[in-house]
Structure 1
Amino acid sequence: MSQTHKRRGKNPHFHPTTFLNFKMKMILLVGTLIIAIITVIGLYIGHFISVAMEAQVGDRALSVAESVARIPELSEAFRHDDPASIISPLVAPIQKATKAEFIVVGNTEEIRYAHPDVNKIGKKMVGEDNERALVFGESYISKATGSLGSSVRAKVPVYLDGKIVGVVSVGFLVNDIQSLIASYNNQLWLVLVSIAIVAVIGAILIASYIKKVLFGLEPEEIAHLYVQKEAILQSTHEGIIAVNQNGIITMINFAAQHLLFNKVISPKQYEGMSINDLASAQQLLPFLQDEHERIDQEMMIGKTTVFANKAPIYYDDSLVGTVFTFRNKTEIDLLTKELKSIKQYTNALRAQTHEFSNKLYTILGLLQLNKKEEAIHYIQRESTLQKSWIRLLIQKVADPQVSGLLLGKINQASELGIEITIQEDSRLATELSEKQREALLTAIGNLMDNAMDAVNKNPRTDRKIAISFTDIGNDIIFEIDDAGEGVPDPYVKSIFEQGFTLKEGEHGGFGLALTKQLVEGVDGELYLEEGDLGGASFVLSMPKKGRESDA
């Protein structure tokens, strides 16, 4: 399995320009958020405790005041000439037991009958908040400043024979309440600070883990790599489809979209879709669960024949997805054709060079033998032969590339001892389009090579190839006839199939298939007939006016 699909490490060529790295940002952001939340919670709970404590103390004071006001002995004491002598001893132990700061009992004139400070008994009550109890008979909680300081106190009226005769005031000093609240708050903030410290440590651990999961990359680096990856994938001429381990499509680049849908579509239309639901990609399904790589599998994607490659994606030795890539077979065939054309030109030049070298050696030998007349006669004959071929091809073939290829093949055949004849009335004056020229050059090269291979097995006296071509009518007709063994009848229908060959070796079976494909691409035909020389006769025809796009 190719290691290019494994984890990718940090990109050494990109450095973020930020002052703080991702780990420090995570720690600071999470830490700040935690501290802010804990601070808000602490302030809220502190306020809640303060309000709740004051309310609790008020309720406690009210409960004590109501209990004291309902003591029968206390209300009966108001009948006596000196109520203080009875009420003060009665209230003192209750104040001590309830830990109230004070329990004050007064009459309707607000004259004290009981007070923690005996010197203030008989004096008027301070605070001026007794009206609601003495006039309206209400029991309530108030906050005021009395003789002992600011306090939270409860006021309850005292009844005798159904009439209000006095008031009971039970209070707790605000300073004492604040001290109690401060004690609770200190414990609260100690717990919250401990939680904050643990949370910050957790933020550090989380940031370290996320940094490790991201392979040490900064967010800016990830964004840069993402943009770079998208640009590479979308600009790649090969089609690419990526699926996860469940066969769900995660990415289709532009080239693959053109193959599958004949247009570019929005990622929302295919992301999350199962590849099983993609009708044009059904041939990929047999390879989906296969963990092995596949290279150059020929198949149909949409309406296009492609060579497909499959590479599994691994993460920590586990299969997490698959990438399929596609190359258009037609483009590869065109490249093969270009290479074959170059090879044909090379072979033609090599044949000319070799033949020219042989002729030079022949002339050198005649001169060394002092046979000047024979040398002169040989040179004149060869010059006349070459000029006649050149003159013939120039006159009969208007396209210089076609005439050049024919001349090269004639010289190559001459070196092999093969006799080539061109029918006298042959002519090709039509101006060819680029595609027509490519198709014709490929066809001539392949058919001439096949013909020379076929006759090369014959005795030297029977190595013959006949060529004829014409464009008199509406079509261009090109025929190559050889004196070889021909094509056996059982193989006539298979001769143009890709991979089929009658030659020995592993790399045959592409020339005729490619030639036929190119010829049909310009609305032409290529077929096999019985030749006059006893071997195979291949006939190529193409209309002078091809498709509009070829013109």
Structure 2
Amino acid sequence: MFHTYKSNKNENLEPKAALSLKSKMIFLISLLILSIFILFTWFLHSFISDTIEDQVGKRALSVAKSVANMSEIRSAFELNDPASVIQETVAPIQEETDAEFIVVGNKEGIRYSHPNPERIGEKMVGGDNTRALQNGEAYVSQSEGSLGLSIRGKVPIKDEAGNIIGVVSVGFLSEDVQGVIANQSKSLWLTMIGIVVLGIAGAIFIAYHIKKLLFNMEPKDISYLLLQKEAILQSTHEGMIAVDHNGMIIMMNKAAKQILFREDQQLDQFSGKSINQLIPHTGLSDVLESGKSQYDKEMIFGESIVIVNQVPVYMEGKVAGAVSTFRKKTEIEHVTRELQQIKQYSNAQRAQTHEFANSLYTILGLLQLGEREEAIDFIKKKRNIQEKQSQILTQHAADPVVQGLLQGKINQANELGVTISIHPDSQLNHAYHGDKQEALITGVGNMLENALEAVKSNQEGERQISLFFTDIGDDIVVEVDDSGQGVSEEAAAHIFEQGYSTKGEENRGIGLALTRHIVHKQGGQIILEEGEMGGACFVMIIPKGGGDSDES
């Protein structure tokens, strides 16, 4: 399960950088915001300056046009003293329009009006009247006059015949225009500074939040752990598959690929696919739904029998996915075989101990009752039964492993009150080894175990199992018939599927699926038929020459 990673302050996976991730993020985001602030503010300041200067120029030109078109101004040029009329005419206009100056001059550039009356009669300063006086253009210019640098609107004055007789110059000092621009820019600067402050605060918050999501780890720590995790996943001998909460594969290591799929298939093609479609009956869906772990389950993955452990992955108290680890059973089959033999020996010893204790009590009772002859007959009878049973197994099965298995199952059946009868024509003339012996032992053991389960609920005297086996021909044939309830048509269609059980219990439905799988690997088959004893009849056929014969 996922648990919150708590960084150890004393732990140092890699040498620490000069700046932590949090500091770098704050610095870089703040630097980005400041850069954007400088560029954007410079652009807005330039835009505002150009806009205001353009508006002032247009305003000056508009006022100049109005003055140039006034009939009083035109008529005044015909007088002996035009300045006396023109100065009085433009003075109120200048005051109303807030213009710094309105200067009217003749064709030679001599002033007829000026904010400073003392400068009337002097030549206009700035040298920017040529276009108006010679070409008759109306335009905006920026030049330094007697009052300082100003933005001017220049318009020629024409008489009734259209001849140029003078020029009107309306100006606003650049110093005043810059003051207006500064006032307009002040609010812009305050707003942008506020945005920068908020941006830096946001950068600090983002840095702290991301650092928290990364469990306070530095990038080098994360890289190191990622490489470490990848090395562990790909070097382990166990297959590993991880799925998300929807059952989609998010990780699969090389060992899992080798167990499940062909060598030419790429791991990347499995990512994002449903585990149920790719590998049915894994049980991971149950783990995701229930949130319960599963340990040491024997399953069939691909073409292999594997031992599986499956655990849910929790995140913030909810199931966020699941991880399945598994290993081929063949890699630990020598241990499994030894454990199976010990288990069979234990079951046989337990059954024999139980039967021996019953026999001892019977003999003790007969002796206490003075029935000496009856006690002796009882002992001889038991001895004859044991010898006969051992003789039957020795005569019918050449393989000592098969003999041991059958002896254990017969003893187990005796304890349950079940009679296992071996058909007199049964014969195994050869001893088998390797995978073929494994298939034979697994198949016989599971079929007898199923038969015991099927008949143990019957009334006493009706618990019967018939066993037949032979290898006289080209195949090893084993037939197990029981007197149980049999298998319905509906159940028969699913009886060999992994996880399916007629008992409806959890962690069942494995034995027959494993038997079919291991028998198929040897080129054989297992068949369900209608039994002669009223129950089910399973027939297992294993070719002697198929798979790993290992016959001796």
| TM band (smaller chain) | 0.5 to 0.7
Equivalent residue for 2:6, pick from 6, 9, 12: 9
* Corresponding residue of 2:425: none
Equivalenced residues, count: 433
Instruction: Decide whether the 8 Å contact of 2:150 with 2:171 is kept in 1.
Output: yes
* Corresponding residue of 2:51: 52
1:164 maps onto 2:164 in alignment: yes
Instruction: Decide whether the 8 Å contact of 2:305 with 2:514 is kept in 1.
Output: no
* Corresponding residue of 1:111: 110
Deviation at 1:86, TM superposition (A): 0.4
* Corresponding residue of 2:336: 336
Amino acid paired to 1:73: E
Kindly tell me: are residues 243 and 180 of structure 1, through their superposed partners in 2, closer, same or farther at Cα, counting changes over 3 Å? Answer: same
Q: SS at the partner of 1:323? A: strand
Equivalent residue for 1:490, pick from 457, 461, 466: 466
Deviation at 1:283, TM superposition (A): 4.8
1:290 maps onto 2:266 in alignment: no
Kindly tell me: are residues 262 and 545 of structure 1, through their superposed partners in 2, closer, same or farther at Cα, counting changes over 3 Å? Answer: closer
* Corresponding residue of 2:197: 197
Q: TM-score, normalised on structure 2?
A: 0.64
Deviation at 1:80, TM superposition (A): 0.9
Deviations 1:358-377 (A, max 9, x none): xxxxxxxxxxxxxxxxxxxx
1:238 maps onto 2:230 in alignment: no
Instruction: Decide whether the 8 Å contact of 1:260 with 1:281 is kept in 2.
Output: no
Kindly tell me: are residues 212 and 273 of structure 1, through their superposed partners in 2, closer, same or farther at Cα, counting changes over 3 Å? Answer: same
Instruction: Decide whether the 8 Å contact of 2:103 with 2:111 is kept in 1.
Output: yes
**Which stretches in structure 2 are left out of the alignment for 5+ residues?**
346-385, 392-397, 415-427, 438-462, 469-478, 482-494, 497-509, 526-541
Amino acid paired to 1:125: M
Kindly tell me: are residues 284 and 264 of structure 1, through their superposed partners in 2, closer, same or farther at Cα, counting changes over 3 Å? Answer: farther
After superposition, residues 237-276 of structure 1 pair within 5 angstroms as: 237-244=238-245, 246-263=246-263, 265-266=265-266, 268-276=268-276
Amino acid paired to 2:4: R
Deviation at 1:87, TM superposition (A): 0.4
Deviation at 1:321, TM superposition (A): 1.8
Deviation at 1:189, TM superposition (A): 2.0
Amino acid paired to 1:188: L
Distance 2:282 2:518 in 1: 26
Distance 1:549 1:108 in 2: 127
Distance 1:515 1:88 in 2: 121
Deviation at 1:88, TM superposition (A): 0.7
Distance 1:443 1:213 in 2: 60
**Which stretches in structure 1 are left out of the alignment for 5+ residues?**
346-415, 422-427, 429-439, 456-467, 478-486, 499-509, 526-540
After superposition, residues 387-536 of structure 1 pair within 5 angstroms as: 489-492=465-468, 493-494=479-480
Distance 2:514 2:387 in 1: 28
Q: SS at the partner of 1:290? A: helix
* Corresponding residue of 2:457: none
1:150 maps onto 2:149 in alignment: yes
Amino acid paired to 2:466: P
After superposition, residues 59-208 of structure 1 pair within 5 angstroms as: 59-161=58-160, 162-208=162-208
Q: SS at the partner of 1:46? A: helix
Deviation at 1:255, TM superposition (A): 2.5
Distance 1:158 1:444 in 2: 133
Q: SS at the partner of 1:135? A: helix
Instruction: Decide whether the 8 Å contact of 1:312 with 1:319 is kept in 2.
Output: yes
Deviation at 1:299, TM superposition (A): 3.5
1:23 maps onto 2:26 in alignment: no
Amino acid paired to 2:238: H
Instruction: Decide whether the 8 Å contact of 2:101 with 2:114 is kept in 1.
Output: yes
Deviations 1:230-265 (A, max 9, x none): 222223413323223x23222222222234432375
* Corresponding residue of 1:380: none
* Corresponding residue of 2:417: none
* Corresponding residue of 1:311: 311
* Corresponding residue of 1:408: none
Distance 1:198 1:317 in 2: 35
Instruction: Decide whether the 8 Å contact of 1:95 with 1:101 is kept in 2.
Output: yes
Q: SS at the partner of 1:109? A: coil
Deviation at 1:107, TM superposition (A): 1.0
Distance 1:304 1:206 in 2: 49
* Corresponding residue of 1:360: none
- Larger displacement relative to structure 2 (104-113 or 317-326): 317-326
Kindly tell me: are residues 524 and 339 of structure 1, through their superposed partners in 2, closer, same or farther at Cα, counting changes over 3 Å? Answer: farther
Distance 2:163 2:82 in 1: 17
Deviation at 1:518, TM superposition (A): 9.5
Deviation at 1:520, TM superposition (A): 10
Q: TM-score, normalised on structure 1?
A: 0.64
Deviation at 1:114, TM superposition (A): 0.7
Q: What percentage of residue pairs aligned between the two structures are identical?
A: 41
Deviations 1:390-438 (A, max 9, x none): xxxxxxxxxxxxxxxxxxxxxxxxxx999999xxxxxx9xxxxxxxxxx
